[in-house]
């Protein structure tokens, strides 16, 4: 069951990364419009969304990869 959840987390990480890339493409397309306050607000909001999605994908991906490879899930390891 633990492996099943790890695979789901890995798939969710890939999906979040794909959404971040799609949002980046949308951001590039929006930046070609005439500059108004709504365009600037959209650029700021989508920039923040891209950063959050990328961080979420990285965290989920590392956690799932660690669980699938059989490593420990906690970060406290003795030296």
Please provide the DSSP assignment of 8-77 as one string. Answer: HHHHHHHHHHHHHHHHHHHHHHHHTS---HHHHHHHHHHHHHHHHHHHHHHHHHHHHHHHHHT--S-S--
Predicted confidence (pLDDT) at residue 73 exceeds the cutoff of 90: no
Q: Terminal CA-to-CA distance of the chain, rounded, Å?
A: 31
Provide the pLDDT for residue 77. Answer: 56
Question: Model confidence over 4-46: pLDDT tens digits?
Answer: 999 999 999 999 999 999 999 999 999 888 888 999 999 999 9
**What's the rounded mean pLDDT across residues 58-66?**
94
């Amino acid at each position: 069951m633990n492996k099943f959840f790890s695979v789901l987390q890995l798939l969710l990480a890939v999906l979040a990364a794909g959404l971040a890339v799609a949002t980046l493409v949308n951001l590039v397309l929006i930046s070609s419009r005439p500059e108004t306050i709504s365009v600037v607000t959209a650029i700021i909001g989508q920039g923040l969304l891209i950063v959050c999605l990328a961080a979420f994908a990285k965290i989920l991906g590392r956690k799932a990869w660690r669980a699938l490879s059989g490593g420990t899930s906690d970060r406290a390891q003795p030296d």
